[in-house]
Amino acid sequence: MYVVLIMKVRISSLKDHERIETLDTLYTAAAGVKGRNVMKLFLRDLLTTSERVMLGRRIMIA
């Protein structure tokens, strides 16, 4: 069984090492995802539908 803890945190309240550790965790998790279908499931678990759409739009613009 997994317990999910969601905390809304202002980035300005994070110390540098906390910000670096948090981003490192994200990058490590994303790097471990192999294949389109697995990435799709990963992003579904990680983001809301609205967040996924907005991320897709940002990628298209970039």
Within a domain: 30? no
- pLDDT bracket for residue 2 (50, 70, 90): low
Residues 3-26 have a mean pLDDT of 83
| Position 52 in a domain | yes
**Is residue 53 included in any domain, yes or no?**
yes
In a domain, 50, yes or no: yes
29-43 mean pLDDT:
95
Instruction: Report if residue 42 sits inside a domain.
Output: yes
- The answer to whether position 12 is within a domain reads no
Q: Say if 58 falls within a structural domain.
A: yes
* Residues 1, 24: Cα–Cα separation, whole Å: 25
Question: Which pTM value belongs to this model?
Answer: 0.69
What is the residue range of 48's domain?
35-62
Phi (first) and psi of residue 3, to 5 degrees: -110, 125
Question: Is residue 16 included in any domain, yes or no?
Answer: no
pLDDT classification of 12: cutoffs 50, 70, 90:
confident
How many domains is the chain built from? 1
